[in-house]
């Protein structure tokens, strides 16, 4: 299997979650062996999506170069990864990826429009060779060796609408589009009000997030899935692990995981070469794994 990029330039406009300002996003083709590259046209900053460039994980995954940053990259990365895109240039005229409707759906639509083009170089895969885990009290995120990638996530919120939820997602592009991509980010009204009082989450609304008060969901349309909360956590995890720079052959498991735990996990994986192996797709015997990105 060959590396891929997008075949066509596509663009859209959306609201930045934190500043509440319109942001233009453009997806452009990129040649082989470049990976996922973000470019901020307003400040002339170029930064590759990689664990080493993560500068913040509070409420979102943020990458930067020490002077400037790009926030809330995880939803877009989740879609790019699930569509099997290896090389892409993402151009923004602001410091955030627009939140769109709070899920990955809009980015899937952009990628459908852009289509996919094969390049001359072979695709690589990052194979997890042994269990790697990071913890924060009872919270954890881990990866284990497997022959078919999956994501198993559990959450437990003391809220009557959420409570304890668990979902096991067997990864494929088709399943991602149907089961995961539409799951929206969520937050609690009191937290949103606090963040907005500090000049953050100014773009947050019922149009781009599930918002809950102490007892109920405030969105008039309710949920898209009964387990939309845990499914969004899986969407986030896929995006955060996409920073590893290649399709990942692993079973991912988490309880009450976060962007920070996912970031710590990617760093822990890369810390020891015994944890993983990067192999040419042509050397992969697991046909099912190849087919999940078809």
Residues identified as active-site:
259
Give, as one character, the DSSP assignment of residue 103.
Answer: S
> DSSP of 85-98, one letter per residue?
--BEEEEESSSB--
> DSSP of 236-288, one letter per residue?
HHHHHHGGGSS-EESEEEEES--HHHHHHHHHHHHH-GGGEEEEEGGG---HH
Nearest to 256 by CA among 170, 100, 136: 136
Query: Is the Cα dihedral 110, 113, 114, 118 positive or negative?
Result: positive
Looking at 30-149, which runs of residues are DSSP E strands?
36-40, 45-48, 54-56, 62-64, 69-70, 88-92, 116-122, 124-128, 132-136, 139-144
Structure tokens at 234: 């899986």
* Chain Cα centroid distance, residue 244: 11
Angle ∠(213,136,245) on CA atoms, nearest 5:
95
Which spans in 100-221 are helix H? 105-114, 173-175, 189-197
For tokens 């990689």, the residue is 50
Q: What is the largest CA-CA distance in the chain?
A: 54
Q: What are phi and psi of 156, to 5 degrees?
A: -150, 100
CB–CB of 249/126 below 8 Å?
A: yes
């Amino acid at each position: 299997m060959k590396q891929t990029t997008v075949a066509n330039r596509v663009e859209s406009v959306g609201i930045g979650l934190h500043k509440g300002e319109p942001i233009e996003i453009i997806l452009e083709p990129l040649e082989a062996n470049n990976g996922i590259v973000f470019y901020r046209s307003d400040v002339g900053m170029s930064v590759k999506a990689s664990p080493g460039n993560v500068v913040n994980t509070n409420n979102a995954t943020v990458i930067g170069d020490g002077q400037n940053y790009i926030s809330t990259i995880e939803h877009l990365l989740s879609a790019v990864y699930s569509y099997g895109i290896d090389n892409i240039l993402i151009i923004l005229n602001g410091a955030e990826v627009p939140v769109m409707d709070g899920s990955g759906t809009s980015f899937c639509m952009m990628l459908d429009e852009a289509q996919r083009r094969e390049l001359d170089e072979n695709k690589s895969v990052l194979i997890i060779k042994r269990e790697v885990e990071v913890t924060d009290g009872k919270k954890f995120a881990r990866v284990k060796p497997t022959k078919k990638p999956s994501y198993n996530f559990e959450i437990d919120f003391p809220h009557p609408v959420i409570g304890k939820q668990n979902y096991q997602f067997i990864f494929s592009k088709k399943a991602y589009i149907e089961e995961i991509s539409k799951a929206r980010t969520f937050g609690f009204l009191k937290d949103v009000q606090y963040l907005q009082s500090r000049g953050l989450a100014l773009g947050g609304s019922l149009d781009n997030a599930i918002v809950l008060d102490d007892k109920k969901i405030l969105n008039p349309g309710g949920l898209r899935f009964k387990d939309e909360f845990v499914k969004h956590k899986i969407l986030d995890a896929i995006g955060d692990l996409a920073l590893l720079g290649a399709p990942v052959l692993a079973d991912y498991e988490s309880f009450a995981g976060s962007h920070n735990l996912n970031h710590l996990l990617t760093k822990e994986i890369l810390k020891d070469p015994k944890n993983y192996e990067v192999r040419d797709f042509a050397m992969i015997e697991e046909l099912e794994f190849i087919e999940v990105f078809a």
